[in-house]
């Protein structure tokens, strides 16, 4: 029997990309899914697709930058399923690269709000119930940019380094409560992420780098692998690049 069967898994950013692929992947493992994103039509369709394939899913429209909405999401999961076993956190990340001298302050704030605060709000929402049940698993999405900083990716990389630091801190604080942590750091992945690029001086180079992007299903498989491990095994970090990505 799968170690994932009947686990309650919250997935943020579930309306597209890695979040959507993860939801579809976990459907086959018997997980009970709580889908969260801002686009309700996408969530409704994903729920229908999952249930059509014999899976169990509910959804709640949620903005990860709202602490209140993330708390409501966790409460909804608890009301419907009675527990939260896994949080797949921050598939909603944004990546509006630009050079610092251009002072795109609005983009900086958006990355900080989504990529850092969104992660913290997700952790804060699920941690009380996980501590109470003495088990849980938080999977945070970082990036290759959380390991290597490129020109133009300074603020984005800063947010992704922060995700790794937050996740490692969470591990050290909560391992005694049997709460596992995993950092997933994807390289170029086919998704809507590059659509958030606002600096047209950088976009051609990024588009070129993403020509070798791997499918979101590859990251979903890694997430499923981490969840599948027995409770005494924690896959703490995975860095997953396209074979031909140079950094």
pLDDT at 198 over 90: no
Weakest mean pLDDT among 56-65, 90-99, 138-147: 90-99
* Superfamily for the 8-239 domain: NAD(P)-binding Rossmann-like Domain (3.40.50.720)
d(CA 98, CA 118): 21
d(CA 197, CA 85): 34
243 CB neighbour count, 10 Å cutoff: 7
In terms of DSSP H, where are the helices of the chain?
17-27, 40-52, 67-81, 105-111, 118-133, 154-174, 203-209, 216-228
Over residues 112-128, the mean pLDDT reads: 97
- 173: helix, coil or strand? helix
156 is an active site residue = yes
**Which carries the bigger pLDDT value, residue 73 or residue 247?**
73
pLDDT at 10 over 50: yes
The residue from 59, 76, 101, 156 that is catalytic is: 156
Q: What is the largest CA-CA distance in the chain?
A: 55
Q: How far is CA 16 from CA 21, 46, 153, 162, 216, in A?
A: 7, 9, 23, 24, 9
Residue 54: both structure tokens together: 């014999």
The domain segmentation of the chain, as residue ranges, is 8-239
Residue range 64-96, pLDDT digits in tens: 999 999 999 999 999 999 999 999 997 667 888
pLDDT at 1 over 50: no
51 CB neighbour count, 10 Å cutoff: 13
d(CA 15, CA 11): 10
pTM: 0.93
pLDDT at 228 over 70: yes
């Amino acid at each position: 029997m799968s170690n994932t069967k009947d686990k309650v898994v919250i997935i943020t950013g579930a309306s597209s990309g890695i979040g959507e692929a993860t939801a579809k992947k976990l459907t086959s493992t018997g997980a009970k899914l709580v889908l969260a994103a801002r686009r309700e039509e996408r969530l409704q369709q994903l729920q229908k697709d999952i249930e059509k394939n014999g899976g169990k899913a509910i959804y709640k429209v949620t903005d990860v930058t709202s602490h209140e909405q993330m708390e409501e999401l966790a409460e909804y999961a608890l009301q419907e399923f009675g527990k939260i076993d896994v949080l797949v956190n921050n598939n909603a990340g944004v990546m509006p690269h630009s050079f610092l001298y251009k002072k795109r302050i609005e983009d900086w704030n958006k990355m900080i709000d989504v990529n850092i605060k969104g992660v913290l709000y997700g952790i804060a929402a699920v941690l009380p119930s996980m501590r109470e049940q003495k088990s849980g698993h938080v999977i945070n999405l970082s990036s290759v940019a959380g390991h290597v900083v490129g020109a133009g990716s300074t603020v984005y990389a800063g947010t992704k380094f922060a995700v790794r630091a937050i996740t490692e801190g969470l591990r050290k604080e909560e391992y005694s409560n049997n709460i596992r942590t995993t950092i997933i750091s994807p390289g170029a992945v086919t998704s809507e992420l590059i659509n958030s690029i606002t600096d047209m001086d950088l976009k051609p180079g990024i588009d070129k780098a993403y020509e070798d992007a791997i499918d979101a299903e590859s990251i979903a498989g890694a997430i499923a692998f981490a969840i599948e491990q027995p409770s005494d095994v924690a896959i703490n970090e995975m860095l997953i690049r396209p074979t031909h990505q140079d950094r």
